[in-house]
Structure 1
């Protein structure tokens, strides 16, 4: 995530309602109209099932409270608006408590096709469908609990497991590779890139290998990890991830497959 942002967080009123302008609602509407056909073609069944269950509005920015009401009855999760940038400590604390932190602003027209930092479109359109699936919801909580259990120096290692699964994970379905991650679902360009680009390296899911794989947030990923089943995340959640991080640190990072301008 970038260290600064031009965007300003929007704050809820006393009733918990965030006031979005007609122009902001129109950005949401147009983003959904652009992305939904791509999602229906490239996205994995757990994501599409979550979308169907949530029935997100297509013509306006959803309110966190209305999403929380639905999610709470499905998997016990809620979503809470936060400033654009929060630290790992708060992020892991919220996940551990089954609360998803959602940046409250929506991108401008200038950043319509690509925005480096997460906005409400990424948070709600991208993440909420996955939290309908208990397996993915429980795995997200496990990431948070592990973050609370490990040292701050381990955060950059742990977040790779979240990045390459919940954010940018792929999965095999019916002999094809489909997009599972939230970052893919909300990205017009990278969704297609992740599934179809021939230069991309698609590796079998492996916890230790993921922990050792660096990434950059400002490019289409050169490497993705592919699940055979979401159930693999259930098994990953049973591991001693703190110990896995220590083992990964002892082995060291793999050489990045991108130009080094910064490390994830």
Structure 2
């Protein structure tokens, strides 16, 4: 991709939209999001009233985990998406929603991509899982059926994952929840279904794009995600063998 973030083109309204969304979630997320998210916000030095500059973000991220944020035009195809992340490049949109779109947006914008994802890219074990999961996807990129299943793992962890230690309340680490005022309230409430993390269960569970999720999966540590990779790989190989019969 050759797209760049032309920072000088952002208008004052663009920055104001970021500020409104940022302030709203910073009031909403304490007690709901994992502590590492707030630590990550500090490490990447987000400003509450200005859209983040990718060049500044990357100076900090690279020294922490080797990751960097690369500008993307929007949703990219699976092959490019997983190739970028396997190479520790996280694709993020450079546009931000309009003022009249504060509460609803059909596709992810910069606030989701950057506010939701980037703070977690400061966590080494999280980044290792993300890169290795993407490398695994590339091994099966020629099979839409397998990529559909593997995308469920990504969806129910990186995008909509919850974190719950034994005896503790559920907390949010999924970027899709962190950037959503409504789902960040629902996901950790008593109203939501919270399952224990299970590779088999997730691979057998479709996900929802149009509305809030009907259920969530809870990990007890980021090491649990990393340790699940051999099982994921084994299941995908078995699925491929079934498809080729």
Match of 2:228, SS? helix
Between the aligned partners of 1:70 and 1:49, the Cα distance in structure 2 is 13
| Alpha-carbon offset, residue 114 of structure 1 | 2.2
Mapped contact 1:208–1:248 kept (Cα < 8 A) = no
Q: Residues 17, 145 of structure 1: CA spacing in aligned structure 2 closer, same or farther, 3 A cutoff?
A: same
Alignment of 1:1-264 (within 5 A): 12=4, 17=7, 19-150=9-140, 151-153=142-144, 154-173=146-165, 175-198=168-191, 200-237=192-229, 239=230, 241-247=232-238
The normalised TM-score by structure 2 is 0.91
Q: Residues 220, 250 of structure 1: CA spacing in aligned structure 2 closer, same or farther, 3 A cutoff?
A: farther
Match of 2:216, SS? strand
| Structure 2 residues without counterparts, runs of 5 or longer | none
| Alpha-carbon offset, residue 247 of structure 1 | 4.5
| Alpha-carbon offset, residue 163 of structure 1 | 0.6
Cα root mean square deviation, aligned: 2.0
Mapped contact 1:71–1:131 kept (Cα < 8 A) = yes
Between the aligned partners of 1:235 and 1:163, the Cα distance in structure 2 is 18
Between the aligned partners of 1:114 and 1:184, the Cα distance in structure 2 is 13
Deviations 1:47-71 (A, max 9, x none): 2221222221111111111111110
Deviations 1:9-66 (A, max 9, x none): xx537xx646211110110011001111112221012222212222211111111111
Q: Residues 18, 74 of structure 1: CA spacing in aligned structure 2 closer, same or farther, 3 A cutoff?
A: farther
Segments ≥4 residues shifted beyond 3 Å: 246-251
Between the aligned partners of 1:184 and 1:249, the Cα distance in structure 2 is 32
Between the aligned partners of 1:111 and 1:249, the Cα distance in structure 2 is 41
| Richer in helix (by share) | 2
Between the aligned partners of 1:33 and 1:127, the Cα distance in structure 2 is 17
Match of 1:135, SS? helix
Between the aligned partners of 2:241 and 2:28, the Cα distance in structure 1 is 41
Between the aligned partners of 1:206 and 1:185, the Cα distance in structure 2 is 22
The normalised TM-score by structure 1 is 0.84
Match of 2:29, SS? helix
Mapped contact 1:80–1:100 kept (Cα < 8 A) = yes
Mapped contact 1:103–1:119 kept (Cα < 8 A) = yes
Mapped contact 1:50–1:132 kept (Cα < 8 A) = yes
Mapped contact 2:199–2:231 kept (Cα < 8 A) = no
Mapped contact 1:82–1:102 kept (Cα < 8 A) = yes
| Structure 1 residues without counterparts, runs of 5 or longer | 1-10, 252-264
Between the aligned partners of 2:96 and 2:7, the Cα distance in structure 1 is 15
Q: Residues 138, 248 of structure 1: CA spacing in aligned structure 2 closer, same or farther, 3 A cutoff?
A: same
Between the aligned partners of 1:73 and 1:196, the Cα distance in structure 2 is 36
Q: Residues 248, 184 of structure 1: CA spacing in aligned structure 2 closer, same or farther, 3 A cutoff?
A: farther
